[in-house]
Amino acid sequence: MLIRKLFKFENAHIVRNCTSDRCKRSIHGHSYKVELILKASKLDHGQMVYDFGLLKGVIKELIDSFDHAICFWNADDTAYIQACKDFSARWVSLPVSPSAEQFSRVFFFLAQEVLKSTNTQNGEGDVSVYSVIVHETDTGYAQSFQEDIDNDQMGILSLDQIEFSQQIQAEWSNNQMYEDLKNGIKFNNPQVELQVPKA
């Protein structure tokens, strides 16, 4: 079974090496919509794939980190990167271009890492990310699947290569959240008292 959760954020970027002159030479922004689609072959004690309320935690905070931020490819010109850091308190450094395609891979990767690092406590099954769709405009989106995350030709993703500015980290409910994720420290979902006995 699949479920879908929608997230929204505003972000600025330059997409180097693309065909469009406007996109590769000028900072510009988009109103992004991110569809996170989860799958499981078993339902939890509430008969859900994964409680939507749980997606308002670490996964939402990581996606929201991109809101009102500028994203840049860490291989870009050093002067441009420094200018992004100097003139924006909210920035995200990526090991890949901040294109819609790569955003879909980055969000898939981050959500999957969070799920793998979460202790579930309500009988959840094999919950995993099925797909991520990133709408960059009303008419264009990119969609990624697990094979795209595993495809090194598309760029290698690692937690160590994604960097969030100090301002972004300061706004997290737990400013150690990303370090915890990188260091394999588990997140704990709330314990649940069952009102209806398990069958």
Q: Which residues are the active-site residues?
A: 23, 68, 136
Other Cβ atoms within 10 Å of 160 Cβ, number: 7
Residue with tokens 């420094």: 82
Rounded to 5°, angle at Cα 63 from 173 and 172: 15
Answer whether 32's CB lies under 8 Å from 66's CB.
Answer: yes
CA distance 171 to 169: 5
3-state secondary structure of 153: helix
Answer whether 130's CB lies under 8 Å from 2's CB.
Answer: yes
Reported as half-sphere exposure (CB side, CA atoms, 13 A), residue 73 has a value of: 17
Q: Would you give the DSSP letter of residue 148? A: H
* Ramachandran area for residue 14 (φ above 0: left; ψ -120 to 50: alpha; else beta): beta
